[in-house]
């Protein structure tokens, strides 16, 4: 066991020699299953005694949530720059669209069962002019770019947060935000920090958007805004939430204790994720799932016709392309072969893998029945050039199975190259990951 220095810590292993702060009770419960914890007497936060076990559980949990959230539009260059080239004008532009931004976020949050938050008395909605000037100057120096360019690249002159309870609400919110921004003549892209290996463990989904408006001279201007999506178990908008506590920990704690701070933060954010909705009803069942102890039901065995003609590959053998990795791969292939979007009856597609998680397909089908998510709508990747004319699925087996279950036509992105060549390329492509059948158990997209 990797025991950290406890010079400022009081051990909490099998009892409670010192009271556990109420705000850390969930962290204590999870840590108890993962080797115990100690209470840092300086920060009054729990530090895991076996950080390796916490890291393993946390990484697995993040993978489960990443699977649930699905792929997001991540091409940051698709969001227009600010029209303003000076802080003063950027501040004016932000104020001009702030009402639309705030009301749009509030309406969507209400429709999805969430809560919009812009700080106490909405103080964080607009970034202060002085803060904008300071950030622009820092970025100009750090990146070696002119002040005008640094101003145009600022992404958070407007800021907001939507707080949600479940992954289903998160999915619905993302879709509604994208639809709203399109109606507002804007653009939005997302960053899912659960996909990142951050030392501090921070988790959330960030949207960078651009909104357009016409000034008093009739000139169309653009201004960028940042929208963060968080689960309530991560932040409820209060200073006692996990997000704010960990932020304060990094601001106030001595740098000499940075390793313990990172371990504390990862334990806290892990506990927050594990408490979201009904992803996992108990800490024990989550750990079982992360350790692969929950045997998943394989659709290919239960309903063989869904997997007829497959190439016999297990899910763990299949490369997974997520977010920007998928974008980069498609950009590369478009320079080499024909790549085009098509719409094909799902029953005419052929799986590559011999494992499809039944529970995940059932979840997607249920989401379709209640109008939350259409598995047929988001394109899956297929190989479009094979000797027998078969279109093999490269990525998106669960969406395919759900779409076929409802008798739908699947949107696909066909890459006109052989499945053999494509799988070989994807396997070694930078950023490609893999996941087991068990890890697909709660996938939503």
In contact, 86 and 129? CB cutoff 8 Å: no
The whole-number pLDDT of residue 34 equals: 81
Tens digits of residue pLDDT in 203-257 = 999 999 999 999 889 999 999 999 999 999 999 988 889 999 998 887 776 555 6
Report how far residue 380's alpha carbon sits from residue 320's, in angstroms, rounded to the nearest whole number: 12
Q: 299-440 architecture in CATH?
A: Alpha-Beta Complex (3.90)
**Terminal CA-to-CA distance of the chain, rounded, Å?**
37
Per-residue pLDDT in tens (0 to 9) along the chain, 445 residues:
333 334 355 554 444 455 778 888 888 888 887 888 888 878 888 888 888 888 888 888 888 788 778 777 766 677 899 999 999 999 999 999 999 999 999 999 999 999 999 998 999 999 999 999 999 999 999 999 999 999 999 999 999 999 998 888 898 999 999 999 989 889 999 999 988 888 888 999 999 999 999 988 999 999 999 999 999 999 998 888 999 999 888 777 655 567 888 889 999 998 888 878 644 434 555 666 666 665 678 888 888 889 999 998 888 788 888 777 888 899 999 999 999 999 999 999 999 999 998 888 988 888 888 787 889 998 999 998 887 789 999 999 999 999 999 889 999 999 999 999 999 999 888 887 766 555 544 444 4
Per DSSP, the residues of 160-203 read EEEEESSHHHHHHHHHHHHHHHHHTT-EEEEEEGGGS--TT---
Which residue pairs from 34-38 have beta carbons closer than 8 angstroms and sit at least 24 positions apart in sequence? 34/287, 35/1, 36/11, 36/12, 37/12, 37/267, 38/4, 38/6, 38/9, 38/10, 38/11, 38/12
Pairing mode, if any, of strands 158-164 and 220-231?
parallel
The superfamily CATH assigns to domain 69-231 is: Beta Polymerase, domain 2 (3.30.460.10)
Nearest Cα neighbor of 377 from 403, 404, 415, 351 is 403
Question: In the chain, where are the structural domains located?
Answer: 9-68+240-289, 69-231, 299-440
Do 299-440 and 69-231 fall under one CATH topology?
A: no
Q: Please state, as a whole number, how many other Cβ atoms lie within 10 Å of the Cβ of residue 110.
A: 11
Q: Which helix (H) or strand (E) holds 63?
A: helix 51-69
The whole-number pLDDT of residue 6 equals: 40
Rg (CA), the chain: 24
Provide φ and ψ at 380, rounded to 5°: -105, 160
Nearest Cα neighbor of 161 from 173, 171, 152, 172 is 173
The whole-number pLDDT of residue 71 equals: 77
In contact, 193 and 205? CB cutoff 8 Å: yes
């Amino acid at each position: 066991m990797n025991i950290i220095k406890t010079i400022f810590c009081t051990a909490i292993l099998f009892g409670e020699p010192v009271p556990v702060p109420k705000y850390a009770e969930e962290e204590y419960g999870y840590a108890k299953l993962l080797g115990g914890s100690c209470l840092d007497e300086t920060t009054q936060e729990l530090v895991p005694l076996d950080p390796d076990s916490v890291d393993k559980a946390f990484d697995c949990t993040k993978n489960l949530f990443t699977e649930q959230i699905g792929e997001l539009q991540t091409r940051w260059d698709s969001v227009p720059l600010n029209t303003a080239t000076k802080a003063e004008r950027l501040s004016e532009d932000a104020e001009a669209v702030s009402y639309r931004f705030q009301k749009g976020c509030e309406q969507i949050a209400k429709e999805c069962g969430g809560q919009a938050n812009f700080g106490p008395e909405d103080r964080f909605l607009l970034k202060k002019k002085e803060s904008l000037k300071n950030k622009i100057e820092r970025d100009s120096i750090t990146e070696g770019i002119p002040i005008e360019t640094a101003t145009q690249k600022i992404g958070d002159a407007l800021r907001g947060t939507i707080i949600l309870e479940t992954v289903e609400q998160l999915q619905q919110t993302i879709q509604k935000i994208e639809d709203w921004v399109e109606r507002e003549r804007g653009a939005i892209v997302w960053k899912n920090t659960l996909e990142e290996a951050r030392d501090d463990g921070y988790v959330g989904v960030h949207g960078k958007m651009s909104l357009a408006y016409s000034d008093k001279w009739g000139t169309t201007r653009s201004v960028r805004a940042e929208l963060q999506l968080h689960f309530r178990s991560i932040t409820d908008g209060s200073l006692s939430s996990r997000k704010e506590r960990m932020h304060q920990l990094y601001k106030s704690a001595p740098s000499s204790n940075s390793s313990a701070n990172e371990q504390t933060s990862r334990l806290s954010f892990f506990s927050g994720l594990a408490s979201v909705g009904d992803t996992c009803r108990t800490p024990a069942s989550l750990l079982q799932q992360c350790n692969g102890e929950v045997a998943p039901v394989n659709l290919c065995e239960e309903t063989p016709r869904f997997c007829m003609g497959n190439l016999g590959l297990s899910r763990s053998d299949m490369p997974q392309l997520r977010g920007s990795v998928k974008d980069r791969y498609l950009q590369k292939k478009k320079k080499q072969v024909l790549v085009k979007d098509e719409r094909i009856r799902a029953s005419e597609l052929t799986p590559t893998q011999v494992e499809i998680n039944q529970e995940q397909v059932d979840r997607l089908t249920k989401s379709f029945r209640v109008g939350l998510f259409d598995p047929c709508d988001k394109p899956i990747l297929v190989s479009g050039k094979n000797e027998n004319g078969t279109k093999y699925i490269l990525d998106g087996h669960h969406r395919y199975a759900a779409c076929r279950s409802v008798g739908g036509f699947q949107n696909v992105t066909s890459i006109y190259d052989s499945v053999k060549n494509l799988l070989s390329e994807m396997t070694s492509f930078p950023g490609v990951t893999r996941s087991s059948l068990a890890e697909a158990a709660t996938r939503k997209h």
